[in-house]
Amino acid sequence: MTILKTAKITSKGQVTIPSRVRKLLHLEDGSCVGFGITKSGILLVPCKLAAVSPYTPGEWAKIENIASAKGKIYKTSKEAKRHIEAL
C-alpha cells in the first residue's frame, strides 16, 4: 500500500482528507465516503446514498387517502379511546 498523505485525528474524531486524495477520488463538498476495515488498515471509498422508502407505492396511496380524509370528531376522550382500542 502506498501512503500518499497523512492526517491527524481531532479530539472529535474528525479527519481532513488531504486535497490530493480528494482530487484522486473526485470528492467534492457534500460527497459521501464509506469506511471499511481490512487486514492492512482502513479502507476509504467514495459512495452514493440512495433514499429507500419504507412503504410500497400501494401503501403510500393508502396513507395519502387516510391523511386526506376528514376524520370523525369525538365529543369525549373516552369515545376516541374506545375507537382506538377497537382498531
Residue 21 · residue 5 · CB < 8 Å? yes
pLDDT for 14-63, tens place per residue? 999 999 989 998 999 999 999 999 998 999 999 988 889 999 999 999 98
> Grid cell 477520488 — which residue?
25
pLDDT at 54: 92
CA gap 15, 11 in Å, rounded: 10
Query: Does the reported pTM lie above 0.75?
Result: no
pLDDT at 16: 94
Tell me the residue ranges of DSSP E strands in the chain. 32-37, 42-47
At 87 the pLDDT is 82
What per-residue confidence (pLDDT) applies to 28? 93
Angle at CA of residue 86, ends 62 and 67, nearest 5°: 25
